[in-house]
Amino acid sequence: MGVLPAFRLHRPTTLAQALELVNDDRMPYAGGTELLLAMKEGLLRPTHLVDLKGIGSLRDVRESGSGVSIGALVTHTQAADHPIVVDRLAGLAAVLNRVGNPRVRATGTLAGNLCFAEPRSDVAAALIALGGEVEIASAEGRRAMAVEDFVIGPYTTALEQGELVTGILVPVQPDLRFAYLKHQTTERPTLGVAAAANSHCSLVVGAVGFAPQVFRSPSPSDLDPSAIADRVEVVPDLTGSEEYKRHLVEVYVRRAVAALGGRR
Amino acid sequence: MIGLDTVEIAPRINGRETVLEVPVRMTLAEMLRDRLGLYGVKVSCEMQVCGVCTVLVDGQPVSSCTFLAADTDGRRVLTVEGLAEGDRLHPIQQAFVDRFALQCGFCTPGFIMMTKHLLERSPLPDREEIVEHFDGNLCRCTGYAPIIEAVQDAAGRLGRRGS
C-alpha cells in the first residue's frame, strides 16, 4: 500500500485562524480527493495540512443577492442535493451529479475542485459558462473573482499567498438556457462542453486543452462549431489524438448549440 | 503552530465505539486493515478509480485508500464486515452469491458497499442508475451483468423485508 508522506495537521475552527496558518507549505485541506492523491504520488509534498473542515461558516449553501453562494466545504453531493441548488441551479446540479464517481462527489468539495484546477474539471467549465465567481478571503479582506479569471492554467489558479477560497457564487438567471455535454471513457472527461444563453451566449470547451476555453456570441446560432474546433487548443493524450479531439469538439459544440435551441 | 502528528479519534466502526490514536498521515484503509484487521477492505489503484476500498462514512461512500483516518472522529464507519448478522448474510451479500455476481471476489466488498449506499438513496434503481452508480468500480471477472442483476435482486429483497 502506498504511504502518505509525513505531514502535520492543523485544525483551525475559524476563518481568521486558518488565514494565519496557510502559506505555500501549509496547504488548505478539505475533501482531499485530489490533494491526498497528489501527495501519495509524490507530486505534492506539503509539510503541513490546514484542515478547514472545522470552520462551520464555510458549510452553508444560501441565496445571496441574485445568486446562490456555495461554501468552500460543500461537497459535490451536498450541493447537488441541496434544495436551493436543485430549485435555482438545476443545470449545475445535473453536472455535479456526474462528476467523477459517487465517492469523489461525496468527499470532494466544489471549491477544492476549482482550486486544484485540473484541466479536465467539469465544474470549472460549467461554472465559467454560468458566470460563477470565486469568493476569496485574506488577512487584508475579501474579494471576488470570476471563475474564468481564477483558473489560469493546468493546476494553476490566480489565488495568492495567504488567500483562501471561502465559497463560490453562482448567479441565478431564470431565463438562462444551459447545457453541459461531455465525452468520457475513463475517470475524467476527454471533452466537456458547457453552454449558457439568454440575451448573450457563452460556450466553454473544457478538458481538451490546458484550461477551459471560452467563446462568446450574441446567440447560440452565431457560434460556428467548425471554426471553434479549428481554434481550440488541444492536447493529445491516451484518450485521443489532436485530430480526434478536434472532431469531438465540433460534434459536441454542434450538439450544445442545438440543446440551447440554436439552428446549426 | 507546530501542528498535530497524531490524533486520538473515536469513530463508531461497524456499530462498535472505538478509540484509537492514529498518525495523521494514516489512511482509513490502513487503519481498518492494519489496526483493526478488517481485511474486507481491499486496496488496489489508490487513486479513487477502482472502488475496491469503498467503505461508508456516515452513510456516504468514500475511497478509504485516500481518506484520512483522522477524519473519522465521531463518525460512523461501515465496512463489509458490518453487514451480516451472525451467520446470516445481509440481503445484498446473499443476492451477490445467488446471482454469481463475483468470481475472484476482490472487487466484491466495494461493490457491496456501493450497493448499500445506492439502495439507501434509491430503493428501486433502474439499470441506467445502477450502471452510473458503478462508474468508479471495476470488476475484471464478471462483465458486470450479474452484478447489475444482483443489485436489482437485492432491491427486491430489501423492499419485501421493509414492507
Q: Tell me: the pLDDT tens digits for A210-236?
A: 999 999 999 999 999 999 999 999 999
Contacting residues for A189 by C-beta, under 8 A, at least 6 apart: A120, A122, A182, A183, A206, A207
Residue A221 CB: number of other CB atoms within 10 A?
Answer: 15
pLDDT classification of A263: cutoffs 50, 70, 90? low
Examine residue A238 and state whether it is found in any structural domain, yes or no. Answer: yes
Least confident of A42-51, B11-20, B153-162: B153-162
* Shared domain check, B144 and B119: yes
Asked if residue B162 has pLDDT above 80, the reply is no
Q: Across all residues in chain B, what is the average pLDDT? A: 96
- Would you say residue B102 has pLDDT above 90? yes
Give the mutation candidate from B6, B24, B65, B75 for the A interface (greatest A CB count, under 10 A).
B24
Share above pLDDT 70 across residues of chain B, in percent, rounded to a whole number: 99
Q: Is B68 on the interface with A (CB under 8 A)?
A: yes
Q: Which of A183-187, A252-256, B52-56 has the lowest mean pLDDT?
A: A183-187
Which CATH number belongs to the domain containing residue A101 in this structure? 3.30.465.10
Are B66 and B111 part of one and the same domain? no
Q: Is B66 on the interface with A (CB under 8 A)?
A: yes
- Tell me how crowded residue A179 is: count the other CB atoms within 10 A of its CB: 24
For residues B45-72, give the mean pLDDT.
97
Q: Domain boundary residue among A171, A199, A230?
A: A171
Looking at the complex, does the CB of residue B104 fall below 8 Å from at least one CB of chain A?
A: no
- In the predicted model, is pLDDT for residue A201 greater than 90? yes
pLDDT at B95: 98
- DSSP H or E stretch at residue A142: strand A141-146
Tell me the percentage of chain B whose pLDDT exceeds 90: 96
Looking at the fold, whether A167 and A183 belong to one and the same domain comes out as no
Count: domains in chain A: 2
Q: Which residues contact B74 (CB under 8 A, 6 or more apart)?
A: B9, B10, B11
Residues of B in contact with A102 (CB under 8 A): 61, 114, 117, 133, 135-136
Map residue A164 onto helix, strand or coil. strand
State whether B75 and B96 are in the same domain: no
> What is the share, in percent, of chain A residues with pLDDT greater than 70?
99
How many structural domains comprise chain B?
2
pLDDT at residue B127 greater than cutoff 60:
yes
Give residue for cell 483551525. A12
Chain A residues touching B6 at Cβ < 8 A: none
Q: What is the mean pLDDT of residues B138-162?
A: 94
State mean pLDDT over A60-87: 97
Give the domain-ending residue among A121, A154, A171. A171
Give me the pLDDT at residue A61, please: 98
Band of pLDDT at residue A94, cut at 50, 70 and 90: very high
Same domain, B19 and B48: yes
- A134 and A203 co-located in one domain: no
Q: Do B16 and B66 lie in a common domain?
A: yes
**Residue A13 is assigned to a structural domain of this protein:** no
Q: What is the ipTM of this complex?
A: 0.96
Which region among A54-58, A182-186, A192-196 has the lowest average model confidence (pLDDT)? A182-186
Cα(A128)–Cα(A149) distance, integer angstroms: 9
Looking at A47-61, A116-130, A250-264, B143-157, which range is the least confident one?
Answer: A250-264
Cβ atoms of A109 and A138 closer than 8 Å: no
Chain A residues in contact with B61 by the CB 8 A cut-off are: 102-103, 106
Q: Does B61 touch chain A (CB under 8 A)?
A: yes
CA distance B60 to B78: 10
Vertex A21, ends A15 and A23: CA angle to 5°? 115
When pLDDT is averaged across residues A70-80 and rounded to a whole number, the result is 98
Residue B141 is part of which domain span?
91-162
Residue A7 within a domain: no
Both B13 and B67 in a single domain?
Answer: yes
Residues on chain B touching A103 (C-beta within 8 angstroms):
48, 51, 54, 61-63, 136
Contact list in A for residue B54 (CB cut-off 8 A) is 103
**Per-residue pLDDT tens digits for A139-169:** 999 999 999 999 999 999 999 999 999 999 9
- Does A89 share its domain with A106? yes
- Are A165 and A144 in contact, with CB atoms under 8 Å apart? no
Provide mean pLDDT across the span B133-160: 96
Using the beta-carbon criterion (under 8 Å), do A1 and B25 form an inter-chain contact?
A: no
The reported pLDDT for the residue numbered A2 is: 79
Of A20, A33, A102, the CB nearest to B117: A102
- CA distance to partner chain A, nearest, from residue B44 (Å): 8
Range of the domain at A80: 59-171
Q: Chain A to chain B, count of Cβ pairs less than 8 Å apart?
A: 91
DSSP per residue, chain B: ---BSEEEE--EETTEE--EEEETT-BHHHIIIIIT--TTS--S-SSSSS-TTEEEETTEEEEGGGSBGGGGTT-EEE-GGGTSBTTBPPHHHHHHHHTT--SS-SSHHHHHHHHHHHHHH-SS--HHHHHHHTTT---SSS-SHHHHHHHHHHHHHHHHHH-
Residue B123: CATH number of its domain: 1.10.150.120
pLDDT over 60 (residue A264): no
Same domain, A243 and A201: yes
* All cell numbers assigned to A97: 451529479
Last residue of a domain, one of B61, B82, B103: B82
Q: Say whether both B75 and B105 belong to one domain.
A: no
φ/ψ of B121, rounded to 5, equals: -85, -35
Do A95 and A152 belong to one domain? yes
Using only C-alpha atoms, chain A has a radius of gyration, in whole angstroms, of 18
- Residue A47 within a domain: no
